[in-house]
Amino acid sequence: MIVNVSEAKANFSKLIDMAYHGEEVIIAKNNLPLVELVRHKPRQKRPLGLLAGKIRIPEDFLEEAPEINAMFYGEPE
């Protein structure tokens, strides 16, 4: 189905529904096809563990550094 921009504006929800159900919907301007509405296809999920074995997290990663605490909170009294 080819529709002009003004008609597409008036019937946008209907055109989305048509494209969702597999119908071909093309929007034209001055009878020149410009864009095609297509159903969204989600990308694949990213695989977990992509950097396994490529990075190393130190054992003391979650420990607090006294010099950084001093910068934020001042020297302990």
CB 24 within 8 A of CB 7: no
Q: Is residue 6 situated within a structural domain?
A: yes
Backbone angles phi, psi at 35, to 5 degrees: -140, 160
Q: Is residue 26 part of a domain?
A: yes
> Domain tally for the chain?
1
Q: What is the CATH number of the domain that holds 22?
A: 3.40.1620.10
Residue 44 lies in a domain: no
Low-confidence ranges of the chain (pLDDT < 70): 76-77
**CA atoms in the 13 A half-sphere facing the CB of 30:** 0
State which residues form the domain around 22: 2-37
Q: What pLDDT does 52 receive?
A: 87
**Residue 72 included in any domain:** no
Specify the pLDDT at position 41: 87
Task: Identify whether 29 is part of a domain.
Answer: yes
In a domain, 50, yes or no: no
